Amino acid sequence: MNTTILLFLLQDGITNGAIYALLGLALVLVFAVTRVILIPQGEFVTYGALSYAMLATGQVPGTVQLAVGMGLVAFALDLFFARKALRARLVARSAALNIAFPVGLLAVTYKVAGPTTPMAVNIALALLIVAAIGLFLYRIAFQPIAHTSVLVLLIAAVGCHLALQGLGLVFFGAEGLRGPALSSAAVTAGPLRFTGQSLAVYGLTIAFIVGLWLFFGYTKTGKALRATAVNRLGARLVGIRTSLSGQIAFLLASMIGAISGILIVPITTLYYDTGFLIGLKGFIAAIIGGLVSYPLTAIAAILVGIVEAFSSFYASNFKEVIVFTLILPVLVLRSLAAPAVEEEKD
């Protein structure tokens, strides 16, 4: 093997790995706070990517209507669960978040959508739409069953994935889409050529890791989210609204998913169901990271990307087999190193 190919594969692997790292981080975040294993993460990726791609061609994506619809359901649920003590402030807050926000988004999207809309506006719109969907998804699907077992939450997550993927087909059609690159600049270093796009991938991944670290270590909200993850009842007893923590976690995760999508849609064509597989690879990284460690997850994600790049070069037929069985040796090591004493839990 020559060094150029080696370097090329490494670069390719690291670029993909960085995306997996972002998704892995989001999965860890959501699991830690809500115990939900976020199977629909892949849909956040496709929704973000394809909404952006459609906006770039001047069309209004169906996702914005979905956001409005989900907002209405979320509002109805808020009213239903607070029916015994409807206070004006509560209703107003819920209406602002669940109705005014998505409807406003819809209005803005219809108003500015067009072939000449600046790219930054399209990105912002795509992000906000997916963020709204993520937020409402937690409110509708998970908040009412937040106290149940990981298994029930997991199956609910699968249900969300199925529904969102089906809706993806309705919104985006069976044809794949590609979006415009964020930047056409490129830097050459030796045999390697770094596009602006891949530099943006690296930059944003690092920014997110640092950002999450600062957020959880030093802000009150971040600490409250961590507290929710460590001990739900304890968190409630000091007045932290765990449902809010869950919504924040989903908001962050959906935005991270959308950003990942927007970053890759200029590189590869995405279909309505591509996200699932991409999400699963972030997932592998998150599992290797034990669903708790951010740095470990990021490193594992890079590793997954590199293994994937090399196996697609040498054994492209078995690329997926190799990537998904990569997890087995890791799990074996984990189980060998696992402490003998079980946690005291009911």
Q: Which residues bind another protein (CB under 8 A)?
A: 31, 37, 84-85, 140-141, 144-145, 148, 150-152, 154-156, 158-167, 169-170, 174, 220, 223-224, 226-227, 230-231, 233-241, 280, 283-284, 287, 290-291, 317-318, 320-321, 323-325, 327-328, 331-332, 334-335, 338, 340-342, 344-345
Residue 231 beta carbon to another protein: minimum distance, rounded to whole angstroms: 5
Give the whole-angstrom CA distance, residue 7 versus residue 12.
9
Q: Which residue has tokens 């929704």?
A: 47
* 168 versus 266: smaller Cβ distance to another protein: 168
* 265 versus 281: smaller Cβ distance to another protein: 281
Residue 222 beta carbon to another protein: minimum distance, rounded to whole angstroms: 11
Show Cβ contacts of residue 286 under 8 Å, excluding neighbours closer than 6 positions: 23, 24, 25, 27, 28, 31, 297, 300
- For the chain, the maximum distance between any two Cα atoms, rounded to a whole number of angstroms, is 71
Q: Which residue has tokens 């697609």?
A: 312
Helix (H, G, I), strand (E, B) or coil at 307: helix
Residue 309 beta carbon to another protein: minimum distance, rounded to whole angstroms: 17
Q: What is the CA radius of gyration of the chain?
A: 21
Q: Taking the mean position of all CA atoms in its chain, how far away is CA 161?
A: 12
Residue 109 beta carbon to another protein: minimum distance, rounded to whole angstroms: 22
* 99 versus 273: smaller Cβ distance to another protein: 273
Give the whole-angstrom CA distance, residue 110 versus residue 102.
12
HEC assignment per residue over 205-253: HHHHHHHHHHHHHHCHHHHHHHHHHHCHHHHHHCCCCHHHHHHHHHHHH
Residue 186 beta carbon to another protein: minimum distance, rounded to whole angstroms: 34
Please report the beta strands in the chain, taking only residues with DSSP state E, as ranges in sequence order: 186-189, 192-195
Inter-axis angle of helices 63-81 and 119-137, to 10 degrees? 30
137 φ, ψ (degrees, to nearest 5):
-60, -45
Residue 293 beta carbon to another protein: minimum distance, rounded to whole angstroms: 12
Helix (H, G, I), strand (E, B) or coil at 270: strand
Residue 156 beta carbon to another protein: minimum distance, rounded to whole angstroms: 5
Give the whole-angstrom CA distance, residue 61 versus residue 54.
6
Give the whole-angstrom CA distance, residue 293 versus residue 285.
10
* 111 versus 345: smaller Cβ distance to another protein: 345
* 55 versus 153: smaller Cβ distance to another protein: 153
* 52 versus 272: smaller Cβ distance to another protein: 272
Residue 195 beta carbon to another protein: minimum distance, rounded to whole angstroms: 30
Q: Which amino acid is at 181?
A: A
Give the whole-angstrom CA distance, residue 138 versus residue 301.
25
* 179 versus 275: smaller Cβ distance to another protein: 275
* 98 versus 122: smaller Cβ distance to another protein: 98
